[in-house]
Amino acid sequence: MQEKRRAQQIVSLAKERIGKAFEDLRFGRALNVDQLWPLVTGINASISRHPGALMGVTRLKDRHEYTYLHSVAVCGLMIGLARQMKLDPALHHEIGLAGLLHDIGKARVPTMLLDKPGPLTVEEEIIVREHARMGFETLMSGDDGLSTNERLSSIVLDACLHHHERMDGSGYPDQQRGNSISLYARMAAICDTYDATTSARVYKAAWSPAESLEYLANNPGQYDPEIVAPFSAMIGIFPVGSMVRLTSNRLAIVLEASEPDELMPPVSPFYCIDSKQLLSLRRIDSTIDPIVGIEIPSRWNLPFFWQTRATILAHFDGSPPIE
Ligand SMILES: [Fe+2]
């Protein structure tokens, strides 16, 4: 898919620039927001050409690039969600920048805590939670290299400060509730949680897209159901990395986002349910073995699943020809 190649280039540049922005802040240098605007333009253009391509490219993250790629992924998700919700196109750039900068306060959190291979202590959790307020203060204080806030709207500032607020008041830092949380912070909460839960971390395995969407939909006390619905529609029925069952009674992994409104993406069958046998690596077009439905990995007792899925996604990232 041509857009996948373009999306890979856009994501690679974005990862580098946002990584530099985090590094600048970490070493006390000013954040250059002007360098970030063209990234949002590129991401916006990619999402408008093919919403699923960029989102597929940001799925696989290694340990050290997690925070940067997460920022790029949330930027793409925010723009896609704004489009799905038919918000004013004039706001899409601001909404994308809000996604890109929502976790910028993590530049002020020790990396040993961000990469800690295990649960945080209560004291460590308090420090990590400070990232929301520290990011907001950075963007407000002039340490961001801007003379005024004219290039950073309330959308960007509020999503940074309040993306961990929850509908029932259980979030932080201000324990805001319901619609007192801004629309953009409620959108950021969903995009942030979706990308975080579907990414493997040092201390936890990734959830499949279907599991994450189910979690968001089943927690209306935390995530605004009026936004979760368009978010689920935007992610699509068969997101990249989903486990699906094929007509042949094989389990498979979705390799690429299908065209919008098309339900037959390329897949890699990896397990035969009837013979209980693992299958060799191959990529097929699901038009020849149609998808019956999405499956939730945790409901299958397949201890090899996550490793197999990671191997399949890494192996077919170069998109070899379909059988
Ligand atoms: Fe955050």
Kindly give the distance from the C-alpha atom of residue 244 to the centroid of ligand 1, in angstroms, as a whole number: 31
Kindly give the distance from the C-alpha atom of residue 132 to the centroid of ligand 1, in angstroms, as a whole number: 6
pLDDT tens per residue, range 166-195: 999 999 999 999 999 999 999 999 999 999
CB-based burial, 279-316: b 16+ in 10 Å, e otherwise: eeeebbebeebebeebbebeeeebeebeebbbebbeeb
Kindly give the distance from the C-alpha atom of residue 268 to the centroid of ligand 1, in angstroms, as a whole number: 33
pLDDT tens per residue, range 70-112: 999 999 999 999 999 999 999 999 999 999 999 999 999 998 8
Kindly give the distance from the C-alpha atom of residue 64 to the centroid of ligand 1, in angstroms, as a whole number: 17
User: CA dist 175 to 90, 105, 222, 274, Å?
Assistant: 30, 18, 12, 50
User: CA dist 187 to 43, 113, 196, Å?
Assistant: 17, 26, 14
Kindly give the distance from the C-alpha atom of residue 107 to the centroid of ligand 1, in angstroms, as a whole number: 11
Kindly give the distance from the C-alpha atom of residue 92 to the centroid of ligand 1, in angstroms, as a whole number: 20
* pLDDT value for 63: 63
Kindly give the distance from the C-alpha atom of residue 67 to the centroid of ligand 1, in angstroms, as a whole number: 10
Kindly give the distance from the C-alpha atom of residue 306 to the centroid of ligand 1, in angstroms, as a whole number: 25
Kindly give the distance from the C-alpha atom of residue 284 to the centroid of ligand 1, in angstroms, as a whole number: 38
Spatial distance between the Cα atoms of 171 and 167, rounded to a whole number of angstroms: 8
Q: What are the tokens at 77? A: 């998700």
Q: How many CB atoms lie within 10 A of CB 16?
A: 13
Q: What are the tokens at 102? A: 């929502």
| Segment 117-121 mean pLDDT | 86
Share of the chain above pLDDT 90, in %: 51
Closest CA to 36 of 144, 142, 122: 144
pLDDT over 50 at 220, yes or no = yes
User: Which residues lie below 8 Å from residue 139, measured CB to CB, with a gap of 6+?
Assistant: 101, 104, 149, 152, 156, 157, 160
Kindly give the distance from the C-alpha atom of residue 256 to the centroid of ligand 1, in angstroms, as a whole number: 28
Per-domain boundaries in the chain: 2-235, 243-318
pLDDT tens per residue, range 12-71: 899 899 999 898 888 888 888 888 889 999 999 998 888 777 877 777 666 667 888 899
Q: What are the tokens at 79? A: 């723009």
pLDDT over 50 at 149, yes or no = no
* pLDDT value for 30: 82
Kindly give the distance from the C-alpha atom of residue 235 to the centroid of ligand 1, in angstroms, as a whole number: 21
Q: Comparing 319 with 278, which gets the higher pLDDT? A: 278
Helices H / strands E in the chain, number of each: 13, 6
CATH architecture for segment(s) 2-235: Orthogonal Bundle (1.10)
On the 0-12 / 13-18 / 19+ scale of CB atoms within 10 A, 112 is exposed
User: Which residues lie below 8 Å from residue 125, measured CB to CB, with a gap of 6+?
Assistant: none
Spatial distance between the Cα atoms of 9 and 3, rounded to a whole number of angstroms: 10
* pLDDT value for 291: 86
Q: 3-class DSSP state for residue 86?
A: coil
pLDDT over 50 at 323, yes or no = no
pLDDT over 80 at 204, yes or no = no
Residue type present at position 297:
P
* pLDDT value for 147: 44
Kindly give the distance from the C-alpha atom of residue 89 to the centroid of ligand 1, in angstroms, as a whole number: 25
Q: Comparing 298 with 186, which gets the higher pLDDT? A: 186
Kindly give the distance from the C-alpha atom of residue 314 to the centroid of ligand 1, in angstroms, as a whole number: 27
Kindly give the distance from the C-alpha atom of residue 91 to the centroid of ligand 1, in angstroms, as a whole number: 22
Query: Is the bond into 225 cis (omega within 30 degrees of 0)?
Result: no
Contact 260, 80 (CB under 8 A): no
